[in-house]
Amino acid sequence: MAIPLADITIDPPVLLAPLAGITDLPFRRLVASFGAGLVVSEMVASQEVVQAKPMARARAELGFGEQATAVQLAGREAYWMAEAARYAEGQGARIIDINMGCPARKVTNGYSGSALMRDLDHALTLIEAVVGAVSVPVTLKTRLGWDDDLLNAPELARRAEGAGVAMVTIHGRTRCQFYKGRADWAAIRAVKQAVRIPVIANGDITDAATAGRALTASGADGVMVGRGAQGRPWALARIAHAQFGATAPEIPIGDRLYEMIVTHYESMLKFYGSELGGRMARKHLGWYMDDVTVDPALRREILTATCTPCVLRLLRLAFGSAERVAA
């Protein structure tokens, strides 16, 4: 099942979620190389990217010639959202995604993210500004509602569709749940029934089994995977194979796993610079080690070493002949 959005086709309909500090350009490229249908940038603060704040620009960086890429914008003012959308489109974004689901207090206290679900009239001004600013498709990511007393995702989705949004992704929790409890995939069905545009289910989808249950419960057209891809950049491709008949990915083991990890590590050093890149890469190296038997002392060395040649030597010791648990 492919999802057409203007001149873009999301095939397979398995998407990488925007994850702060994780879905940077090196990681998006790696996930896409295994066969994701769409990869989404980290959330970018609209005013910061327009005002050329370096880290915001880095989060929005797509590289030229990238396919199936989206930039997610957050903000509370229509002017800055529109200007940021224009910038991202100019950088090569194929899709602009609007964040109305982030539950973090530093975001909602600024009346952005999921706080916008408490004022749908204002939320619509942002959507209309972005849709009017760009020629690429605009999508929306949100939650079921602010809390159990304000489950207004169906209404927001319906109004967003009327404003020109091409697809909506629903995380199956309210804002007040943050990431606690379990995602309510069945509640997403009300959104699917409220609109004609594609609906993507998100939340607690980590593998083919959970993806299948989410699709059945929600009636959604596809799924979005976040934390399930950490340390498993092939996870989306495995879901796509199991649920949508896409080509099965080759899971790297042994030397191939080592080579993939080194390539990812070196791409982060190139993208961020050696010092910052080395720090940013540690979380990924830790996730890669989670399913491999690595001596605790060696693990600590890898995650604390600051010398690039030292890290590469230690990675060879940890992964050179490692067998990984396929998941």
**Domain residue extents for the chain:** 3-244, 254-319
* pLDDT tens readout for residues 194-203: 999 999 999 9
Instruction: Find the Cα–Cα–Cα–Cα dihedral 27, 29, 32, 33, rounded to 10°.
Output: -110
- Mean pLDDT score of the chain: 90
Q: Give the mean model confidence (pLDDT) for residues 230-246.
A: 96
- Residue 95 is inside which H or E element, if any? strand 95-100
- Please report, as a single letter, which amino acid is at residue 161: E
* pLDDT tens readout for residues 108-137: 777 678 889 999 999 999 999 999 999 999
Judge contact between 111 and 151, C-beta under 8 A. Answer: no
* Bridge partners, residue 259, by sequence: none
Distance CA(141)–CA(239), nearest Å, equals 21
Question: Do strands 167-174 and 14-16 pair parallel, antiparallel, or not at all (unpaired)?
Answer: unpaired
CA distances from 165 to 6, 218, 282, 313 (A): 11, 20, 37, 48
Q: Which residues of 295-317 are buried (b: 16+ CB within 10 A; e: fewer)?
A: eeeebebbeebeeeeebeebbee
Distance CA(8)–CA(255), nearest Å, equals 36
Domain 3-244, CATH among 3.40.640.10, 3.30.450.20, 3.40.50.2020, 3.20.20.70: 3.20.20.70
Higher pLDDT, 50 or 242: 242
Distance CA(37)–CA(35), nearest Å, equals 6
Main-chain dihedrals φ then ψ at residue 143, nearest 5 degrees? -120, 180
> Helix, strand, or coil here: 165?
coil
Residue 65 confidence (pLDDT) above 50? no
Q: For residue 33, what pLDDT band results from cuts at 50, 70 and 90?
A: very high
The two tokens of residue 189 are 């069905």
Question: Do strands 138-145 and 167-174 pair parallel, antiparallel, or not at all (unpaired)?
Answer: parallel
- Residue 217 is inside which H or E element, if any? helix 208-218
What is the pTM for the complete model shown? 0.92
Set 102, 176, 307, 310: catalytic member: 102
pLDDT value of residue 316: 93
Is 102 a residue of the active site? yes
Q: For residue 64, what pLDDT band results from cuts at 50, 70 and 90?
A: very low
pLDDT value of residue 20: 86
The two tokens of residue 137 are 């498709």
Distance CA(157)–CA(198), nearest Å, equals 10
